[in-house]
C-alpha cells in the first residue's frame, strides 16, 4: 500500500521517528498545542488528529489511536510500515486492578495480557506474549525517576470488552497480579514486534473500579500532564 492511506492523509516525512499515541484526538490536540513548538496538523481523516512539531528542538509527533485494538492496530501498523516511524509510545488511561493503585498513578506496561484474538493472524503454534521495548521501558522509567514520578511497572490487560458479561472478570485478572486494564497495548506491541520496531504503553489511572472512584472526560484530556511530559522527554532521548 502506498501513502496517503485510507486512514491517514499525511505525506512521506510528515511524521517524526517517534510518535506519542493517546486514544483521544482531543488529547493529541492538547499535547500538540501545550508542549510542541511549530506544531502542524498532518492528519485529520475521521477526526484522528495527528501533529508533528518540536520538543526541545527535536521533532516529535503525536497522533490519536482511537479506542480498542482494531483501531490502534490500523494506525500503528501504518505508521510503522508505511511512514517509517520507529517508536510509538501509547499515553493512555487505564482502570486500576491492583489495590495499590489510585487515581492519577502511572503504570508502564512491561507486558500486555489480552482476551483478544489479534495474534491469531500470525498462525503461531502457541500463545504469544506481547511485551514492551526494553529500550523504551527503561528510558521512560529512568526519566520518571529524574522527574520524581512514581511509576508502577508490570502487566496490564488489553481487553476487547469494556462492558463485560462476566462480573468476575476483573477479579480474575487481579488475582494474577495484573496491575490495570486498558484496550490497546497488546495490539500495539504485536505490531511493533512484527515490524521490528519499538513500542511502550504507559497509562494514567483514570478509574478504580474496586474503590468506586473515577476521573471526568475533561480531566482525562488535560490533567495527565506528568505522564505526557515524561513521555515527551523519553521521545527525545531515544
> Among residues 203, 62, 230, which one has the least CA distance to residue 140?
230
Contact assessment for residue 200 and residue 89, using Cβ atoms and an 8 Å cutoff: yes
Distance CA 123, CA 106 (A): 34
Helical (H) or strand (E) element with 72 = helix 69-81
Cα separation, 145 vs 94, in Å, equals 21
Residue 85 and residue 106: Cα distance in Å, rounded? 25
Grid coordinates representing 184? Answer: 490497546
Does residue 14 carry a catalytic annotation?
Answer: no
What span, in angstroms and rounded, lies between the C-alpha atoms of 147 and 57? Answer: 20
Active-site position among 14, 24, 105, 207: 207
Question: Considering just the CA atoms, what is the radius of gyration of the chain in Å?
Answer: 17
Active-site amino acid positions: 207
Amino acid at each position: 500500500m502506498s501513502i496517503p492511506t485510507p486512514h491517514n492523509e499525511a505525506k512521506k516525512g510528515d511524521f517524526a521517528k517517534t510518535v506519542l499515541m493517546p486514544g483521544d484526538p482531543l488529547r493529541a490536540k492538547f499535547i500538540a498545542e501545550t508542549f510542541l513548538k511549530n506544531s502542524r496538523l498532518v492528519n485529520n481523516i475521521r477526526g484522528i488528529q495527528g501533529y508533528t512539531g518540536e520538543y526541545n528542538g527535536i521533532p516529535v509527533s503525536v497522533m490519536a489511536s482511537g479506542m480498542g485494538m482494531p483501531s490502534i492496530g490500523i494506525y500503528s501498523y501504518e505508521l510503522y510500515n508505511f511512514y517509517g516511524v520507529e517508536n510509538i509510545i501509547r499515553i493512555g488511561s487505564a482502570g486500576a486492578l491492583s489495590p495499590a493503585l489510585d487515581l492519577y498513578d502511572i503504570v508502564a506496561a512491561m507486558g500486555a495480557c489480552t482476551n483478544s484474538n489479534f495474534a491469531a493472524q500470525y498462525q503461531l503454534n502457541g500463545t504469544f506474549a506481547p511485551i514492551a521495548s526494553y529500550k523504551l521501558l527503561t528510558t521512560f522509567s529512568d526519566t520518571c525517576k529524574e522527574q520524581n514520578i512514581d511509576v508502577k511497572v508490570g502487566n496490564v490487560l488489553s481487553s476487547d470488552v469494556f462492558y463485560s458479561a462476566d462480573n468476575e472478570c476483573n477479579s480474575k485478572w487481579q488475582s494474577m497480579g495484573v496491575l490495570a486494564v486498558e484496550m490497546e497495548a497488546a495490539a500495539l506491541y504485536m505490531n511493533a514486534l512484527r515490524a521490528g520496531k519499538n513500542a511502550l504503553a504507559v497509562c494514567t489511572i483514570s478509574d478504580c473500579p474496586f474503590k468506586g472512584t473515577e476521573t471526568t472526560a475533561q480531566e482525562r484530556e488535560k490533567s495527565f500532564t506528568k505522564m505526557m511530559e515524561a513521555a515527551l522527554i523519553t521521545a527525545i532521548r531515544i
